[in-house]
Structure 1
């Protein structure tokens, strides 16, 4: 009888002709550390439909003489393993629209602790995407200043709701570590009671941003990206999508205020 382990990992390569998949897997407690290695299936049909970059779960079976995997399930389909070199390399996904539920994602806050998008349920939330090295004043710096102004407007509204949050997610996780984001948020005067910053793995961030309609890629060392800010109702549905950076803090504050006091939420 084999010893079995439930494991998660990312498909790096597929070799159905030899019944192997190269998988970057997490630590298997009590058995082996996290590593990238070939894992064998008994039936090559189990590899059909898998793609490089798929995040999967699987069962690892081990006896004294052999090992193999089965019960393979795709958790996240084909997101990039590295920053795309051009926009055309990104998957063409239909982004979520107003009325649809915001997808969950597991990120890291400025303390390095786990932060889930689902944890914002009950709050009217604005989510935007930035990176701290962004040099163009009408891109990330404007989004940062708009969020700061929005927070001030809502805090000054003493009779207004208090169940609102702002969340800025970096699209440069290699440089924007939790420590770097902590320093950045302090430098720009972000109030942590209402405004949070998040990073995470490139894979998790890319998967979430694509679903939100945000696309980013590496252009000779400079991250190119569109701009997209989502207003999310307390029930987790998208209330409004603000394109680019032409919206005003007054507009965002009004949307958050309305979302926070909307009794339907």
Structure 2
């Protein structure tokens, strides 16, 4: 008969072995088979051309929105920035491997200067991009992003209707997963930690 100490040790070993045997394998990325993303040419905040391939070798967290958005886009981008900042503190190597990107779907108003001011208001790490209406339309189509200009108000203002999502892409530009920017910075950090290595 085993002594109480040996019985406890044996039980612990069995528990550990069972836990290891039942650990689920890494999940396949939810967007692994999706046909979204691809090369583009847009304009950076310095006025220079920027292509998708310029980020080769980096994970990319892409959010489409617009600087004149009154509430949704600022909230989402703030959460994205909070999540990225938290990742920089908890896992600097993962943050170093990732580029957060904001792409405007309102090229009429979102000049490089406007996008620069908007992106930098949340984080100096966010890459802001805009372009001609044709460039933005082509990019949005590749990334399966819907957007449309709303009716103009008497003062000439308008809202943009657009799909609301942030998508994480891998180092080769492959789609990995949607990121819940609407759930707060902690949710963003947790999801990034799951996929960025």
Q: Compute the TM-score of the two structures, normalised by the length of structure 2.
A: 0.72
Aligned counterpart for 1:170 among listed residues 89, 104, 107: 104
Give distance in 2, aligned partners of 1:218 and 1:163: 35
Equivalent in the alignment of 2:89: 156
Aligned length: 159
Residue deviations 1:33-70 (CA, integer Å, cap 9, x gap): xxxxxxxxxxxxxxxxxxxxxxxxxxxxxxxxxxxxxx
Give distance in 2, aligned partners of 1:226 and 1:109: 22
Q: Which runs of 5+ in 1 are unaligned?
A: 1-96
How many angstroms does 1:129 deviate by?
0.7
- The 3 A distance-change label for structure 1 pair 98 and 204 is farther
How many angstroms does 1:116 deviate by?
0.7
How many angstroms does 1:128 deviate by?
0.4
CA-atom RMSD, angstroms? Answer: 2.0
More helix per residue: 1 or 2? 2
Equivalent in the alignment of 1:248: 184
Q: Does 1:226 align with 2:176?
A: no
Contact residue 84 and residue 188 of structure 2 kept, 8 A: no
Question: Which secondary structure does the structure 1 equivalent of 2:80 belong to?
Answer: helix
Matches within 5 A, 1:194-209: 194-209=125-140
How many angstroms does 1:158 deviate by?
4.8
- The 3 A distance-change label for structure 1 pair 158 and 246 is closer
Matches within 5 A, 1:14-25: none
Equivalent in the alignment of 2:50: 115
Q: Which runs of 5+ in 2 are unaligned?
A: 1-30, 153-158
Q: Compute the TM-score of the two structures, normalised by the length of structure 1.
A: 0.55
Higher RCO, Cα 8 Å, sep 6+: 2
More strand per residue: 1 or 2? 1
How many angstroms does 1:159 deviate by?
5.3
Equivalent in the alignment of 2:193: 257
Give distance in 2, aligned partners of 1:208 and 1:200: 10
Aligned counterpart for 1:130 among listed residues 47, 51, 65: 65
